[in-house]
Structure 1
Amino acid sequence: MCSGNRSGGRDYWEGGGGAGAEGPGPTGTLSPAPLFSPGTYERLAGLIGSIGLLGAGNNVLVLILYYRFQRLRTPTHLFLVSISFSDLLVSLFGVTFTFISCLRNGWAWDTVGCVWDGFSSSLFEKSSSHKCICDAF
């Protein structure tokens, strides 16, 4: 599930109210507590952001070199360009959801966002190395 469910985590209530021993239960909606500390989310955002930028930059460089130099246009290099293009798409579309979620200290998207995260990774041929990590948030 992409709702942030996990075992052993503490929950907190949004919308005010407190859980007293007497009287009605707290008001608001139950939301999962953050999995990591805010500092850890900042470090993860920096790491994921740098991976995304390096991946996008390196793959754009490969595509530019292939386009610019005629002697690189061989069938073998075309295969490598295809891999580079799919990796560029993962760097742009796959990493963005995770990066923004790290900035917001938890999965920031709904179920559709989680499905898109997994689908885009599979679509861009990276399903074995990039999975829907919204379960971890």
Structure 2
Amino acid sequence: MYSGNRSGEQGYWEGGGAAGAEGPGPAGTLSPAPLFSPSTYERLALLLGSIGLLGVGSNLLVLVLYYKFQRLRTPTHLFLVNISLSDLLVSVFGVTFTFVSCLRNGWVWDTVGCVWDGFSSSLFGAGSSPGCSTSNLATC
């Protein structure tokens, strides 16, 4: 029977031989091997880092401009500030876990970290940021 996600033992099967024995699963099953090559993880980390920095920088600029200039304080601009704040929070909380995982060639957080990553991206509006998604939940 597949054991599910257990910290440090993702992708292992139980009950293969002796009672309680653990080992790699049969051929063609989930294994603890990385999904991508190290160079692909480096490219993903570069892409996520760029998206994170651009997201933080541009959204902070929007918030500062809204605060600094009185004439920008209209209901329409307030809606845009709300979207910008949401995207800023996704850039900070949503991209960070995935970025660190790409630097380490795979998901390095436990189940709680995985749930927080998906929850924060969903709560802060993952649809407003092109690089963030809750697809990590399938890989944790």
TM-score range with shorter-chain normalisation? Answer: 0.7 to 0.9
Q: Distance in 2 between matches of 1:29 and 1:67?
A: 58
Structure 1 residue 131 displacement after superposition: 1.3
Partner of 1:101: 101
Equivalent in the alignment of 1:16:
none
Query: CA–CA distance in 2 between the matches of 1:88 and 1:2?
Result: 30
Q: Identify which of 117, 132, 136 aligns with 1:133.
A: 136
TM-score by length of 2: 0.74
**What is the root-mean-square deviation of aligned Cα atoms in Å?**
2.6
Matched residues, percent identical? 70
- Normalization by structure 1: what TM-score? 0.75
Count of aligned positions: 118
Contact 1:2 1:135 in 2 (8 A): no
Matched, 1:60 2:60: yes
In the alignment, residue 59 of structure 1 is paired with which amino acid? N
How far does the alpha carbon of each residue in 1:110-129 deviate from its partner, in whole angstroms, 9 at most, with x for none? 10011001100111122686
- Residue aligning to 2:76: 76
| Pair 48,70 (structure 1): closer, same or farther in 2 beyond 3 Å | same
User: What CA distance in whole angstroms lies between the structure 2 residues aligned with 1:29 and 1:59?
Assistant: 47
CA distance in 1, matches of 2:107, 2:45: 12
For 1:125 and 1:46, the matched residues in 2 are separated by: 22
- CA distance, structure 2, for counterparts of residue 127 and residue 90 of structure 1: 10
Aligned to 1:85: 85
State the Cα deviation string for residues 38-93 of structure 1 (Å, max 9, x = none): 11100100000000000110000000100010000001100100000010000000
Task: Give the Cα–Cα distance (whole angstroms) in 1 for the partners of residues 133 and 54 of structure 2.
Answer: 16
Query: What one-letter code is carried by the residue in structure 1 that aligns with 2:138?
Result: D
Give 3-state SS (helix, strand or coil) of 2:90's partner.
helix
Q: 1:114–1:132: 8 Å Cα contact kept in structure 2?
A: no
Higher relative contact order (CA 8 A, sep 6+): 1
CA distance in 1, matches of 2:35, 2:97: 17
